[in-house]
Amino acid sequence: MANRRKQPEASRNPPSQGVRTRRILWDAVLVIATAGLSVGAVLTGVAWRSPSVRPIGAGAADPRAAEVEELIRRYFRTWSSQDLQGYGDCFLENAAIQFIDADGKIEPFALPDFLASQDKVFRCGQHDTESPESIDIRFESELSRVVVYWKLTAGPREVHGYDHFTLLQRDGKWGIANLTWYEKSARTSDRARPGG
């Protein structure tokens, strides 16, 4: 028993009425705050449209959310079906693309180099698929910011990661102005890098 810490005398006695009252009030505040967050989410229109899509900022009824979701799903569908033309059409002409490796190094790509690297992946013969697990959509004036948690299935292995998109609407159509992606815990990416 020598290793056991001795409790101070005060903690062995039952708490005074004032201490009990403060503890009950604190518990009540926590319950009310938690309930308020849940009710607040419902009242502000922040609701799930589907299990995997969560529009934020403009509300689920915003027609832009459906347009943005369609672009994001097309982005993943065309990559998985190795449709380079359709995949490239998701991007705006001068889009910026960055990969962040496990060491935090940022590797920038020009769009033509990035698409050439993806074509190289498609030609290697392995049919990988990538699918969104969750999609968070936010609107900022003329932009949409989208964060996608994805799953890449490459043969028997699965990799998870995040894509961060900045979308811009041109001529009534959404396109990718910027894409930054990284894998959740891997050292390298299955998306080929230019020259790699």
pLDDT in tens, 39-79: 333 333 333 334 355 555 555 567 899 999 999 999 999 99
Residue 188 in any domain: the answer is: no
Residue 173 in any domain: the answer is: yes
Residue 95 has pLDDT above 70, yes or no: yes
Question: pLDDT grade, residue 118 (50/70/90)?
Answer: very high
User: How many angstroms separate the Cα of 44 from the Cα of each of 31, 32, 41, 53, 80?
Assistant: 20, 18, 5, 17, 36
Residue 196 in any domain: the answer is: no
pTM of the model: 0.66
Residue 33 in any domain: the answer is: yes
Question: pLDDT grade, residue 126 (50/70/90)?
Answer: confident
Residue 3 in any domain: the answer is: no
**78 with 57, same domain?**
yes
**113 with 31, same domain?**
no
The reported pLDDT for the residue numbered 53 is 57
Distance (Å, whole) CA 10 – CA 30: 26
Tell me, rounded to whole angstroms, the distance of Cα 172 from its chain centroid: 25
Q: What is the CATH number of the domain that holds 116?
A: 3.10.450.50
Which sign, positive or negative, has the C-alpha torsion 68, 73, 79, 84? negative
Structure token digits, residue 87:
């995949």
**33 with 63, same domain?**
no
**Residue span of the structural domain in which 99 resides:** 53-183
Question: pLDDT grade, residue 191 (50/70/90)?
Answer: low
Highest mean pLDDT: which range of 31-45, 60-74, 114-128, 164-178: 164-178
Structural domain count, the chain: 2
**175 with 123, same domain?**
yes
User: How many angstroms separate the Cα of 67 from the Cα of each of 37, 46, 73?
Assistant: 29, 18, 10
Each residue of 149-159: pLDDT tens digit?
A: 999 998 888 99
CB 128 within 8 A of CB 152: yes
